Structure 1
Amino acid sequence: MPVSRSHPHLVIIGGGFAGLATARALARAPLRITLIDRRNHHLFQPLLYQVATAGLSSPDIAAPLRHILRRQANVSVRLDEVSAIDRSARQLQLGDGSVLDYDLLLVASGATHAYFGNDAWATHAPGLKTLDDALLLRRKLLLAFERAEREPDPARRAAWLSFVVVGAGPTGVELAGTLAEIARHTLKDQFQHIDPGAARVRLVEAGPRVLSSFPEALSAKARAQLQRLGVEVLTGTPVSAIDADGIALGDQRLPARTVIWAAGVAASPLGRCLDTPLDRAGRVQVAPDLSVPGHPEIFVAGDLAAIAQADGRPVPGVAPAAKQMGRYIANVIRARLDGKPAPAPFAYNDQGNLATIGRMAAIVHMGRLQLSGVLAWWFWLAVHVLFLIGFRNRFVVLLNWGVAYWSYQRSARIILGDPYQDPTGPGTPSPPDA
C-alpha cells in the first residue's frame, strides 16, 4: 500500500523479536513505520551461546534488518539510538542530536546484564546479550587454552584451565555444557603441553537447583546430564566476589581466569524515560493492552514489559512471549486504525521451555509433555532451526551442526585481533621479545 506523510507515524524502538513482529504484522497497514535500532541486524538470541563457543558464526544467527524488511514499503529502518522520550510532545531525542516525532510508539529495547549492585564484576565476568558479547567471550575462551599451553607454572596453568559460569538458567547451562564438550572433545590432541580434557568447568547457582523454571524432575535430570559431561555443579551459595583471578563463594575461593556471567538481567534503561511505574528489574508495568497507563499511544513489549499471566506468574522474558506481544500490539493498532473495538487483553500462550545441555542432551517441558536426553535434543534442534529467519540461516546452521555432530569440530574457532591485547583482565602475560 502506498504510504504518505498523512498516515500516522509509528516508531518502533528495537529490532528484536517484539519490534520485528510488530513491524511485519503491520505490513499492509496505512502507517508510516520507522524502526530504530543501534545495531543493523536482528539477532536470534537463543543461539547466541553457539557463537560464543565457536559452534556458529555471527551471520548464521543474525540477519540485516534492512534485508528482512526490504519488501515492506511502509517501513524505514534507522541505525541510531534513542536517548530520551518526551511523552507530552510525542518526540524522541536521538543519539545524533536530532528529534523524531511519533503518533504511536513501541518501546521494545530489551534487557541488559544485571550484577545485583556489583557492577565492578562486569570487567571480569562478561555476560552474553549481543554479538559483540559473544565474540568477546569466544576470544576469552579460546585464549585461555592458548595461555595455559605456554604457562610453565602448574598453579597458573590450572587457573587458565578453570572456567566458571555464574547462573544456571538456560544460558548458563548451555554455556557450561558446551564448554565441557569443547575441552574434552573438540580440543583433544591439539596441544602439546596441556591436556584440554583436564579443564574444570564449574556452574555456580545461588538457588537450590539448575533451570529453576523447569519442573523439579527435569531440573534433576539436567543436573545429572551436566555432571556426566564433566561439569561441576555448585548450587545453594551465591557469589560473594569476582576479580581477575577467580570468584569467591562465601569463604571458599575458586581460582579461575575465565568467568562468564549468566545470572541476571535488568530491563533496558530506556524504560525510566517513560516516567511510569517500574518493577524491581526496571520493567515497565504495562496495562492489559501492553500500553503505558495514561498513554494509550505508547506500547512496551518484550523484556522491557512487566505483565502477569492468568495464574499470577509474570510473562517470561523469552522469544515466544516477545513475538506474541509484538503481534498483539499490531492487532491493537490495526483495530484503532479501522475504528473497531480493541481486542481482548493480552494473554500469553505458554509454548513450553527448552534447554540443551550438550551433545545429544536436552530437556523439554511443554504442558504435560516432559522429555529429556536424546529425544529432547532432537526436539530442541528442530524448534530452533524452525524459528531462524531466512533459508540461508537454517541451511548453514544445520550444516554446521551436522559437521560438529560427526567430527566434534567447531567451524568458527578463530581468534581475531592481537592475541597479546586480550580481554582477560590484569595479569595478562607480556608478549615475548621480538
Structure 2
Amino acid sequence: MCNAGDVSKPHVVIVGGGFAGLNAADELASMGCRVTIVDRRPYTTFQPLLYQVATGGLNPGDVTYSLRSYAGRRRAKVRFRRAGVTGIDSEARVVHCDRGEPIEYDFLVLAQGAGISHFGIPGAEENTYSIYTRGQALEVRDEVMTLLDRLAVDPYREAVIVVVGGGATGVEMAGTLAEMRMQGIPIAYPDVHPSRIRVMLVEMGDAVLAPFEPDLRDYTFEQLVQRGVDVRLQTAIAEVGPDTVRFKDGETMQADLVVWAAGIGAHPIVEEWGMPQGRGGRIEVSEHLLVHGHDRIFAVGDGAIIDDNALPQQAQPAIQQGRHVAQQIKALCTGEPLRPFAYVDKGTMATIGRSAAVVQLKNGPKFTGFPAWSFWVVLHLSFLLGGRNRIQAMINLGFRYLLYPRTANSIVGDVREEPTKADE
C-alpha cells in the first residue's frame, strides 16, 4: 500500500487531465501516493457540453476547471505541471517536457485523450471546424455569429451550415443549431428569416446514433427532421473547399460553415513517444491496461486500445479505466496480482434539443422525450467540477431552455471583421 507520509511511496506521473487522468489521480491521492499531472492546458474540459459553448448556450468557464485548483484541493498529494510531453525514456523512467525539467516517475499513466481524425479527406483539415476543445468551440461560436451578422446586412444572402457525423456530438450540434434557427434567430435577428438558413447533418452510415437501438435511432431522426435539419444518411464527403462540400456521388453544394464531428484519432505527438500504436493510432495495452512491452507504463481513456478491442471513446470507459489503473498500481505496490479491466456498460444518452433526448440504460429501461432530456441535464450538471460551474451552467441552460424563445439571450461571441466599402 502507498502509505501517506512514506518517503518511499511511488511517484505516479499522469499525462492528461481529462476524465481518465483525473479519476486515476483521485484514487491514487486517496491512497497517499504522490501524483503529478502533466497537461499542455491549465484546465480540464467537460467535453460533452462543448457544443453548448459553440452555440452560445454556455460560457467556456462553465465547462472548464483549473487543474491548479484541482491539485490545490488535494494539497501536497497532487502536483500539476503545464507542459506538453515531448518524449518518454522508459529505461530511465523519465518524462521529457517542452517546459521545465524532465519529470522522474515510478509509474506512468498515459491519459492524453485523442485528437481529430479527418480520414485523409482533401480540404477537411483546412476548411472545417471542430468542437473537441474549448478553443475550437469558441471558434465555432464566433463563426456562427459572423455568419448571422452577414445575413443581417445582406437580405439576399443565404447560409448553409453542414455538420459532419451522426454520432452524439453531431446530433446535439445539429439539433441545437436548428432550434436557434427556428426560435432564437427570429427574435435576435428579425431581419433574418429562418428560411435563409439551412442546417444539414451528413452521416456516412445508414442511421444516426448508430450504437443505440433502432427505435431510439428512428426517434432521433424524426426529431431532427421536425426541427428542420436536412439529414443525409449514407452520404460520404469527397472534398471540402473554402465554401463548398463535394460528396462522393458527385454533388457539390454551398457550405458556409462545416462542423466536423465525424471521428477522433491519436494526437500526432504520440508517435514520438515510442509506444506501440494500434487502430486509429491508439496506444496498445494489455487487458491489465499496461502498455505492451512495459511493466510500469499504463495507458487509459480515448488514446488507448486493449489488444485491438476498441471500447467506445466516451466518458464512462475513461472514468472506469482511470479508477482501475490506480488499483493496478496499488497491486504492484503490494505484490498482489493484477486484475484484467472489465468495462461495465451503464448505458448511453444523447440530447437532440429542448425536451428531446434519448437514454438507453444497459439491461434497463430506455426512454425518450422530456424524461430523457431531464435525466440528461441532471446527470451532466452533476459531473461538472466545482460548485460555481454547476450553478452557472444551470442558470445559463435555464435561460436557454426555459425562457427560449421568449428571450433570445445567449452568450455573445465575436464577429470576424470583413473588408468594408471604405477599405476598397
Supply the distance in 1 between the matched residues of 2:344 and 2:217 (Cα, whole angstroms): 22
Q: For the Cα contact (< 8 Å) 1:10–1:106, is it kept in 2?
A: yes
Q: Which residue of 2 aligns with 1:56?
A: 58
* Separation in structure 1 between the aligned mates of residue 222 and residue 309 of structure 2, nearest angstrom: 28
Match of 1:396 in 2: 392
Paired position in structure 2 for 1:20: 22
User: Aligned partner of 2:356: which letter?
Assistant: A
Question: 2 CA distance for matches of 1:301 and 1:138?
Answer: 31
- Structure 1 residue 411: deviation in Å? 5.0
Equivalence for 1:68: 70
2:4 and 2:33 in contact (8 A); partners too: no
Matched, 1:143 2:146: yes
- Is contact 2:355-2:370 (8 Å) kept? yes
Would you say the 8 A contact 2:56–2:413 is kept in 1?
no
For the residue of structure 2 that corresponds to 1:364, the secondary structure is strand
Partner secondary structure for residue 389 of structure 1: coil
Q: CA RMSD in A?
A: 2.0
Q: Specify the alignment match of 2:213 in structure 1.
A: 215
Match of 1:354 in 2: 349
Aligned residue runs from structure 1 range 206-245, under 5 A: 206-245=204-243
Unmatched runs of 5 consecutive residues or more in structure 1: 421-428
1:183 aligns with 2:181: yes
Paired residues for 1:12-411 under 5 Å: 12-72=14-74, 73-96=76-99, 98-118=101-121, 120-151=123-154, 154=156, 157-158=157-158, 161-196=159-194, 198-250=196-248, 251-307=250-306, 314-342=310-338, 344-367=339-362, 368-408=364-404, 409=407
Residues 3 and 132 of structure 1, relative CA distance in 2, 3 Å threshold: farther
Letter of the aligned partner of 1:105 in structure 2?
A: L
Distance in 2 of aligned mates of 1:5 and 1:270: 33
Maintained 8 Å contact 1:3/1:74:
no
CA contact (8 A) 1:400 1:411 kept: no
Distance 2:4 2:367 in 1: 49
Determine if contact 1:125/1:259 at 8 Å carries over to the other structure: yes
Offset of residue 321 of structure 1: 0.9
CA distance in 2, matches of 1:2, 1:9: 12
Quickly say closer, same or farther: Cα 1:355–1:6, change in 2 above 3 A.
Answer: same
* Post-superposition offset of 1:30: 4.3
Query: What TM-score do the two structures reach when normalised by structure 2?
Result: 0.93
| Superposition deviation, residue 206 in structure 1 | 0.8
| Distance in 2, Cα, partners of 1:119 & 1:380 | 36
- Note the C-alpha offset of 1:402: 1.7
Deviation at 1:151, TM superposition (A): 2.6
Q: Name the CA distance, whole Å, in 2 between partners of 1:243 and 1:387.
A: 38
Which of 281-290 and 189-198 deviates more? Answer: 189-198
Residue 419 (structure 1) aligns with: 416
Of 270-279 and 169-178, more deviation after overlay is shown by 270-279
Checking the alignment, whether the CA contact within 8 Å between 1:185 and 1:197 is kept in structure 2 is no
What letter is aligned with 1:109? Q
* Secondary structure at 2:298 match in 1: strand
> How has the CA–CA distance of structure 1 residues 388 and 237 changed in structure 2, closer, same or farther, with 3 Å as cutoff?
same
Number of residue-to-residue matches in the alignment: 416
Distance 1:239 1:282 in 2: 22
Q: What runs of 5+ residues in structure 2 fail to find an aligned partner?
A: none
Identical positions, percent? 38
Cα offsets for 1:81-139 (capped at 9, x unmatched): 10111222222221136322211101111111101113632221111111000000000
For 2:290 and 2:154, how far apart are their aligned partners in 1? Answer: 57
Counterpart Cα distance in 2 of 1:90 and 1:313: 28
Counterpart-to-counterpart distance in 2, 1:147 and 1:78? 43
Contact map agreement 1:91 1:102 (CA 8 A) in 2: yes
- Give the match's secondary structure for 2:296: strand
CA distance in 1, matches of 2:34, 2:68: 16
Partner secondary structure for residue 69 of structure 1: helix
Distance 1:229 1:120 in 2: 29
- What is the TM-score of this pair, normalised by structure 1? 0.91
Provide the secondary structure at the position in 2 that maps to 1:237. coil
Quickly say closer, same or farther: Cα 1:433–1:78, change in 2 above 3 A: same
d(CA) in 2 for partners of 1:433, 1:100: 55
